Amino acid sequence: MLLDRYPDVGRIYVLVRPRAGGTAEDRFFGKVAGTQPFRPLRERHGDGFETFLRKKCVALAGDVTDPMLGLSEEQVKELTGKLACVINSAGLVTFNPSLELAVRVNTEGARNAAELCKRTGATLVHISTCFVAGTRRGPVFEDEPLIGSYPKAHDLDEAARVPFVVDAELKDVDAVVARLRAQADDGAVAAQFRAAAVRRLEEEGRDPADLKALGLASGRERKLWLAQQLVQAGMERARAWGWPNTYTYTKAMGEQAIAASGCQYALVRPAIVESALRFPFPGWNEGFTTSAPLVFMGLKGQRVFPAGHKLVLDLIPVDLVA
């Protein structure tokens, strides 16, 4: 959309996670550039589309979970003074994912983007969510203090409030994750995994006496248990501070990490980002997102949906956010 509206833009550096057996450039120009959001550009430039795109876009291999977003020191030096802004739209949008993974992407990823901006002199435009307000009721204003804020504080007397410090919270999260990983290696718990693995193999008609199969099945049981525990830990920690889920909790911490970094930044807090209003064409969507089940039901003949008269449908078209 940026290239469509502002074709004279100098250069766009696109951070791409390379896949096995391919480079970031292969993935961007070979797969991403062929998707529907690029359709208006393909129609405008025709046979010159790829030439135009390669002139304007540079694919950089990286990952938001790595320091400096995975860029090398040489790349960071090359970008210093050349970037006007970094737009960080990366995020783990599952509401209740693994606590460990959500923190890495939504919180530490935001901090890594801020540190890159400090090094290069760029301004950070960070895509967050309006739901960082958590379980608060009534108007929540954009100019409220950010650092140290947590939703439940607004329901507590001053004497009952405790400090919320992102660095301290991340240390506590590390301790929770380490405790759960250690628990997964506990002998008594490992025995439960083995017993569950035996039952699963028997249910599948396989031989539990096959030590290789039993070892793999036990490892799978451990992995499933740990994943469930990390999901539950995230939900509990989020709700303890007043956020409804792990997603909003880790996104809010990402905002605070950016605010404390010292970089120049702007936060964008949209509601639920949904189907396009106009660009690349009306109704474009990717995936079975929030309103998609309603649309699907309508296509199948459902004509009435129950709703309260005070219902607010927190949706915004993706191209209006862009």
Residues 270-306 as b/e (b if ≥16 CB within 10 A, e otherwise) read beebbbbeebbeeebeeeebeeeeebeeeeeeeeeee
- Give the pLDDT score at 292: 79
DSSP assigned state of 122 = P
d(CA 38, CA 10): 18
Provide the residue ranges of all domains of the chain, joining segments of one domain with +.
Answer: 2-163+243-321, 166-241
What are the residues whose beta carbons fall under 8 Å from the beta carbon of 216, sequence distance 6 or more?
Answer: none
- Give the pLDDT score at 286: 83
- Give the pLDDT score at 249: 98
Domain 2-163+243-321 has CATH 3.40.50.300: no
Q: What is the CA 195 to chain-centroid distance, rounded?
A: 36
3-state secondary structure of 173: helix
- Give the pLDDT score at 198: 96
What are the residues whose beta carbons fall under 8 Å from the beta carbon of 208, sequence distance 6 or more?
Answer: 197, 198, 201, 202, 214
- Give the pLDDT score at 295: 81
- Give the pLDDT score at 220: 96
One digit per residue, the tens of pLDDT, for the chain of length 322 reads 999 999 999 999 999 998 888 899 999 999 999 999 999 999 999 999 999 999 999 999 999 999 999 999 999 999 999 999 999 999 998 889 999 999 999 999 999 999 999 999 999 999 999 999 999 988 999 889 999 999 999 989 988 899 999 999 999 999 999 999 999 999 999 999 999 999 999 999 999 999 999 999 999 999 999 999 999 999 999 999 999 999 999 999 999 999 999 999 999 999 999 889 999 999 898 877 777 788 889 889 999 988 888 888 889 999 999 9
- Asked if residues 144 and 259 have their Cβ atoms less than 8 Å apart, the reply is no
